[in-house]
Amino acid sequence: MGKAGRVLKEVLETHRISQGKLATSLGIARSNVYRWVNEIRDPGSETVLTIVEALREINPSAAEDFMGLYTSDSTENEDQPDLSTESTEESKVNLISNNVIGLPQVEGLDISAFSRLFANTTNSYKYIFFLSLLDILSRRNFDGSSLISFREITIEMLANAWYPNIYFNLYFGLQDQIANKLNSLNIKIEPKFNDSDKKYLREEISKQNLDNLLIGNFSLMRFVPFRLIRPFLKHQLGRIEIDNEVNKKIVPLAKQYFDAIKPLYCFDGDYPSNCEYIQLHPEWVLYIKINYEIIRSWVAWEWLNYMQRRNPSVPAISNKLFPPEKRESLERQIAYWKLVLQHTNLQCIYSGRLLSLENLSLDHYLPWSFVTHDNLWNLIPTFRDVNSAKSNKLPSSIYFSAFVAMQHIGLTISSENMKSKIWNKYVEHYIADLRLSDTNDLLNIERLRNAYELIVMPQISLATSQGFMPNWSYR
């Protein structure tokens, strides 16, 4: 299978980090880590980012070793063309982003300019534009012979921005207008978690009137396509600083030096105002094809850093930049609450109705789209219609005491009816996420309440400021 899983196995063994500990830090089931290290399924480039973050929390040296091995030359592509030079190992990999992601060096291509694509970035456009190019290329099986239209890129950019902005309510920055552009389209759709290539989103966006986003002062294409390749033509441009003048110069320069300097792409027109397509350079297309996972990880890492600076208190940002491939099964959590309900009667904290095993649904007290995990401490049983009505809204404070009381009942009954080893696994996240000392704190209602107040109340305030609807109550 892929390289990331093999590297992860080596790093976990070297640094004596258990698969369970990494899974706990990631907020996922241990079986996922097992599949990676045993090469049953390789983590994607976005997942690699979350692995790096988790390893940094556990052992910073392990994170550095993981990325060092992940970005080093590999023998897994021996059947593909060798674009690397015969220089020393140090010159083969140009480490950037504080030695987190490496871009392989290639003779004849200006990797230094490529690595500066996101220099002097004040908004998200460059990151989303380039990610969109990567997505389009990947869907085309890296066939760069056809032109890529500004319209296609715009649709892809809006689709890439939809989840972090509309669904996860992330802040893109004061100068960033992509949120306004998405809101202006008024796209009313439910998120699809099996839509990882954004086909459904692109179809919905393409039905909108995009004229204002393609032409004029509000166009997403007004500056970013021209500014992105500026590092390749730095010397030819000289000291030009006026925005429109830079655009005017870059268009003919990209075409003039397309074969000599090899910028990432050139344009179909002679002036910015009549450019509607870009033509990617074939050598860059081949470079991206061979190094796709590394390049995508690098861009995603750069975008993650940008978004973290603008959302410093928001949890799990790395899980909110891209559409989840699928939601994890709640089978294990449902089994836990079914066990509890077999030994006691519980009323839904929202509706007051008596809960039953037949019509059981689990509610994320703090919305999943805010916390992006399925840890038991945030899950309580309810009814499907109640859960649907609550959706991703924040509950009113009138439910907090009942929520904590239900959690305490669940912990007490499960501790009495589960084997100690199994129960300890179920409550790992309670201890870690609520910052409790040991399992005794879980069974003490006052300590549990205090822990929930310290963790949940600030999270609700933060989620409210982020745009999640507060004070929901069931009527």
One-character DSSP codes across 306-322: HHHHHSTT-TTGGGSSS
- 58-77: per-residue pLDDT in tens? 888 888 788 777 765 433 34
215 or 162, greater pLDDT = 162
416 with 338, same domain: the answer is yes
> Is residue 99 a part of any domain in this protein?
no
Q: Which of 319, 341, 359 is the last residue of a domain?
A: 319
Residue 135 is predicted with a pLDDT of: 95
Beta bridge partners of 135: none
> Is residue 189 a part of any domain in this protein?
yes
Q: Amino acid identity of 429? A: H
Kindly state the average pLDDT of the residues 124-141.
95
> Is residue 354 a part of any domain in this protein?
yes
> Is residue 90 a part of any domain in this protein?
no
182 or 334, greater pLDDT = 334
The answer, yes or no, to whether residue 239 has pLDDT greater than 70, is yes
Provide the token pair at 383.
Answer: 């009814």
SS (H, E, C) 196-239: CCCHHHHHHHHCCCCHHHHCCCCCCCCCHHHHHCHHHHHHHHCC
| Rounded Cα gap, residues 43 and 35, in angstroms | 9
Residue 77 is predicted with a pLDDT of: 40
> Is residue 475 a part of any domain in this protein?
no
Residue 254 is predicted with a pLDDT of: 96
208 with 250, same domain: the answer is yes
> Is residue 82 a part of any domain in this protein?
no
The answer, yes or no, to whether residue 85 has pLDDT greater than 60, is no
- 438-468: per-residue pLDDT in tens? 899 999 999 999 999 999 999 999 999 988 9
**Domain count along the chain:** 3
Kindly state the average pLDDT of the residues 119-139.
92
Kindly state the average pLDDT of the residues 317-335.
84
Kindly state the average pLDDT of the residues 145-163.
93
Which of these ranges, 24-33, 154-163, 407-416, has the smallest mean pLDDT? 24-33
Phi first, then psi: give them for residue 42, nearest 5 degrees. -95, 140
Q: What is the mean pLDDT of the chain?
A: 85
Residue 241 is predicted with a pLDDT of: 64
The answer, yes or no, to whether residue 204 has pLDDT greater than 60, is yes
- Under the banding of pLDDT at 50, 70 and 90, the label for residue 2 is low
> Is residue 106 a part of any domain in this protein?
no
The fraction of the chain above a pLDDT of 70, given in percent, is 89
Kindly state the average pLDDT of the residues 45-69.
80
424 with 297, same domain: the answer is no
Residue 194 is predicted with a pLDDT of: 66
41 with 183, same domain: the answer is no
pTM for the model stands at 0.76
135 with 168, same domain: the answer is yes
Residue 283 is predicted with a pLDDT of: 96
Which of these ranges, 7-11, 59-63, 204-208, has the smallest mean pLDDT? 59-63
Phi first, then psi: give them for residue 459, nearest 5 degrees. -65, -40
303 with 340, same domain: the answer is no
310 with 351, same domain: the answer is no
Residue 247 is predicted with a pLDDT of: 84
Q: Residue 31: which CATH number?
A: 1.10.260
CA-wise closest residue to 55 among 105, 83, 16, 81: 16
8 with 56, same domain: the answer is yes
Which of these ranges, 251-265, 291-305, 334-348, has the smallest mean pLDDT? 291-305
Kindly state the average pLDDT of the residues 14-20.
87
The answer, yes or no, to whether residue 87 has pLDDT greater than 90, is no
- Under the banding of pLDDT at 50, 70 and 90, the label for residue 93 is very low
102 or 266, greater pLDDT = 266
- Under the banding of pLDDT at 50, 70 and 90, the label for residue 252 is very high
Q: Domain range holding 348?
A: 331-466
Kindly state the average pLDDT of the residues 416-439.
92
The answer, yes or no, to whether residue 121 has pLDDT greater than 70, is yes
| Rounded Cα gap, residues 289 and 339, in angstroms | 50
172 with 314, same domain: the answer is yes
Q: Which of 70, 92, 123 is the last residue of a domain?
A: 70
The fraction of the chain above a pLDDT of 90, given in percent, is 48
311 with 336, same domain: the answer is no
> Is residue 471 a part of any domain in this protein?
no
212 with 352, same domain: the answer is no
250 with 122, same domain: the answer is yes
Q: Which of 292, 319, 346 is the last residue of a domain?
A: 319
